[in-house]
């Protein structure tokens, strides 16, 4: 198959011609296999070339401009602005502005009020004038949406730091939360780890209520500057919203009378908690928001900027910056080297790279060195469980996650390492830890077991996305798949996981995707797990999933699902075709025995036709999820690893398919 001038293989031409006899059908299948093999080989070469010499892979992790705006606001608050950083950040923020003057939170998504407010303020700090055309458009749209008063709590907290919003008009978050034992509702361990790490420092900020001199006013962002926060009706007292609104009013009264000594002890306890969780690289949890708020909180308690804790924290924030060739500076909310490395290892191995290839051995060595063998916050709910797992980031020993641990184990099993005993021991610790982190309902969350309290999401303060960590189908699917590969398919805990997954299937046949967009991700995670765990491809749940995937395949042969599927049913399974989502759909279909069907062939052809000259794929759409709808992610390596994994399994089959899974498919051509 010769390449076209745009670097594609010309595979799109194979999509249209149905075979008229068995000979033609066989010929077409051979042609498609050749196309897939060629595309996989080019992708392997590209991915191998992106490996760091230490053994890891990491793609950029793009989110939205609030990360960049808040970085500038932090520097303004601490008085550490420098012209180069401000100029570069402003260049990036301006470059993300839409034609109507707004900013959104994902590619081709609708305008977002909070993102637009924060971006506007950041550009004002960078010197853009309110009468500049792009600023006039932004401010006008903000007023049309109700002004600053309609933005999220976190946006208004940032504005309160400079007196642009009143602290009295924000929900209260008292540091005395630190005294709540773990059995009391709304203790800090009722929150998901990402929210917990953010809320603890914000209790100090909420108690201190600092105000730095504002360099300008923001009257143009209010519908009525004389009344920036119009009163709103309180929900009925008998409703949960009403209960928590009245609780917030009570906490505001408490703020005025809180015993000083008790409050000081509470803030010191919060500071101790924060400092104990600072990583060796100076960050907190490997993610940007907790680091930002921790630096602010400690500064308010008297830690000067030259204190070792503060200096390390500020230095860590600089490592979230991605400097682009055009001089723009983008802030990553997080970095994903462990996740990217295990997924890249799986993709390369499944595409036929030798298990003892030096690149895979280096990757395995690096992953083995990243194993976490000390307790973290998860041990509060599981105090007797021995540690052993992997986190998402370079440095995050307090918060290993169940998803990474499962995928790292699957990756390590694909490598022929010179020290197999070391690999076996690490995997066994990870398996034991994952089994111990199973929630009571049979599923697995990402960071904690049984993090399912209904109360945190109801707090008026918590309007910034998901703040608890209940079991999800995608994480549970990955754990079940890993346990099956480890020979534990018949373990009662694995069977409970399978039962939970079967109960979570939607009527459509799909599964909800918590950490990826959305039902395509959930279904692409669960079906391979069910097959690995011994369900036949003829099982009704698998057939319903296959039927759903066929029904949402795009006319071009690929699959795509817009982030709006988290809010609007009409978007479920629908959106522009993307390489990563097409890879997920193909992984499910291939696991279900659909390799020789028209749906799979069309999907493989789409991947081959959209591959670029260097063996990579482009994917501007966001297919990763931090919080469903509220915080979306574009993992830049997803577009490389998932298409390659799918192509590899199309060509070589699943390396861990069991004898019962192979040949169990009964699906006919789509």
Which candidate, 241, 176, 170, 166, places its Cα nearest to that of 203? 176
Q: Active site residue: 190, 403, 404, 654, which one?
A: 403
| Nearest-angstrom CA–CA distance, 361 and 339 | 17
401: β partners = 390
Residues linked to residue 631 through DSSP beta bridges, in sequence order: 627
Contacts 24+ apart (CB under 8 A), 14-21: 14/601, 14/605, 15/557, 15/601, 15/602, 15/605, 15/606
- The CB density around residue 163, as the number of other CB atoms within 10 Å, is 15
Tokens linked to 496: 């409970």
Q: At what angle do helices 337-350 and 638-652 cross, to 10 degrees?
A: 20
Residue located via tokens 């949960």: 240
C-alpha to C-alpha distance for 298 and 300, rounded to whole angstroms: 5
Quick one: three-class SS letters along 355-419?
CCCHHHHHHHHHHHHCCECCCCHHHHCCCCCCCCEECCCCCCCCCCEHHHHHHHHHHHCCCCCCC
Q: Catalytic residue at 403?
A: yes
State the pairing for strand pair 321-323/61-62.
Answer: unpaired
Beta carbons of 533 and 480 less than 8 angstroms apart = yes
For 331, the enclosing helix (H) or strand (E) is strand 329-331
Could you tell me the strand order of the sheet in which 631-635 lies?
61-62, 631-635, 624-627
CA angle 219, 224, 226 (to 5 degrees): 80
The dihedral formed by the CA atoms of 248, 192, 279 and 436, expressed in degrees to the nearest 10: 150
Helices (H), 572-637: 579-591, 598-610
514 contact partners, CB below 8 Å, separation of at least 6: 446, 472, 473, 474, 475, 522, 625, 628
Other C-beta atoms within 10 Å of 467: how many?
24
Write phi, then psi, for 243 (nearest 5 degrees): -60, -45
Phi and psi at residue 6, in whole multiples of 5°? -90, 10
Phi, psi of 111 (to 5 degrees): -60, 150
Which residues are known catalytic residues? 403
């Amino acid at each position: 198959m010769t390449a076209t001038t745009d670097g594609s293989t010309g595979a799109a031409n194979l999509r249209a011609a149905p075979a008229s006899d068995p000979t033609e059908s066989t010929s077409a299948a051979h042609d498609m296999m050749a196309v897939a093999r060629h595309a996989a080989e080019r992708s392997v070469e590209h991915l191998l070339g992106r490996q760091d010499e230490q053994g890891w892979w990491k793609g950029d992790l793009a989110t939205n401009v609030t990360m960049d705006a808040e970085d500038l606001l932090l520097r303004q608050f601490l008085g550490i602005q420098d012209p180069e950083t401000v100029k570069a950040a402003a260049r990036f923020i301006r470059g993300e502005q839409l034609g109507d003057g707004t900013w959104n939170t994902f590619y081709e998504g609708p305008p977002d009020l909070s993102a637009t407010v924060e971006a506007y303020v950041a550009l004002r700090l960078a010197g853009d004038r309110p009468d500049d055309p792009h600023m006039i458009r932004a401010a006008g749209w903000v007023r049309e949406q109700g002004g600053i008063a309609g933005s999220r709590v976190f946006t208004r907290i940032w504005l309160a730091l400079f007196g642009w919003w009143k602290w009295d008009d924000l929900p209260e978050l008292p540091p005395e939360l630190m005294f709540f034992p773990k059995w009391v509702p709304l203790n800090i361990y009722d929150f998901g780890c990402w929210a917990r790490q953010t809320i603890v420092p914000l209790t100090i900020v909420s108690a201190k209520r600092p105000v730095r001199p504002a360099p300008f006013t923001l009257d143009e962002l209010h519908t009525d500057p004389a009344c920036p926060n119009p009163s709103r009706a309180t929900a009925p007292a008998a409703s949960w919203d009403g209960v928590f609104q009245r609780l917030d009013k009570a906490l505001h009264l408490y703020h005025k009378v809180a015993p000083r000594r008790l409050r000081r002890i509470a803030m010191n306890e919060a500071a101790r908690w924060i400092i104990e969780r600072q990583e060796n690289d100076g960050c907190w949890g490997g993610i940007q928001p907790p680091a930002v708020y921790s630096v602010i909180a400690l500064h308010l308690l008297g830690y000067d900027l030259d204190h070792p804790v503060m200096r390390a924290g500020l230095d860590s924030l600089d490592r979230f910056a991605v400097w682009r060739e055009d001089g723009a500076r983008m802030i990553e909310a997080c970095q994903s080297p462990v996740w990217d490395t295990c997924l890249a290892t799986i993709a390369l191995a499944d595409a036929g790279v030798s298990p003892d290839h030096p690149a895979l051995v280096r990757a395995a060595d690096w992953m083995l060195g990243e194993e976490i063998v000390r307790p973290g916050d998860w041990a509060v709910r599981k105090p007797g469980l021995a540690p052993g797992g992997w986190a998402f980031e370079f440095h995050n020993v307090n918060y290993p996650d169940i998803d990474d641990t499962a995928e790292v184990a699957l990756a390590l099993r694909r490598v022929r390492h010179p020290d197999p005993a070391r690999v076996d021991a690490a995997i066994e610790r990870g398996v034991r830890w994952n089994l111990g982190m199973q929630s009571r309902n049979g599923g697995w969350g990402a960071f904690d077991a049984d993090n399912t309290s209904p109360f945190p999401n109801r707090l008026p303060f918590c309007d910034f996305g998901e703040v608890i960590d209940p079991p999800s189908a995608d994480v549970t699917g990955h754990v079940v798949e890993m346990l099956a590969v480890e020979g534990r398919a018949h373990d009662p805990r694995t069977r409970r996981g399978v039962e939970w997954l079967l109960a979570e299937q939607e009527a459509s046949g799909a599964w909800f995707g918590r950490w990826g967009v959305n039902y395509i991700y959930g279904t692409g995670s669960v079906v391979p797990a069910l097959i690995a765990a011994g369900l036949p491809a003829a099982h009704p749940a698998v057939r319903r999933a296959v039927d759903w995937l066929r029904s949402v395949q795009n006319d071009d042969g690929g699959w795509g699902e817009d982030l709006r599927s988290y809010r609007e049913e009409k978007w479920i399974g629908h959106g522009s075709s993307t390489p990563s989502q097409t890879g997920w759909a193909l992984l499910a279909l291939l696991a279900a025995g659909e390799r020789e069907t028209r749906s799979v062939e069309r999907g493989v052809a789409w991947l081959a036709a959209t591959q670029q000259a260097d063996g990579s794929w482009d994917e501007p759409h966001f297919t990763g999820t931090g919080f469903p709808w509220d915080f979306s992610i574009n993992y830049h390596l997803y577009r490389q690893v998932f298409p390659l994994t799918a192509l590899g399994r199309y060509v070589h089959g699943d390396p861990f398919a069991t004898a019962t899974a192979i040949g169990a498919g009964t699906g006919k051509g789509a």
